[in-house]
Structure 1
Amino acid sequence: MASVSASHLILFIASILVAASVSGVLTSTVGDLSNAIDDTGLQVSDDVRTDIEIISDSGSDAVYNDTEGNITLYVKNTGSLQLAADSNTMDVLVNGQYETDVTVTLLEDSVTWDSGDVVRLDISRSLATNEDHRIQLTVNGDEEVFQFNT
Structure 2
Amino acid sequence: MLRGVPSLPQPDDLTSLILRTDFTDDRAWNELRQTVGTDGASYASDPSFADVTIQALIDTDTAADPDHQLTYVFLADALTMTDDEHPLLALDLFDEPGRTFRVAPRWFLDISANLGIGNLGFDEFADAADESGTYRGSGASQSD
Query: What TM-score does the superposition give when structure 1 sets the normalisation length?
Result: 0.22
Bigger strand fraction: 1
> Looking at CA atoms only, which structure, 1 or 2, has the larger radius of gyration?
1
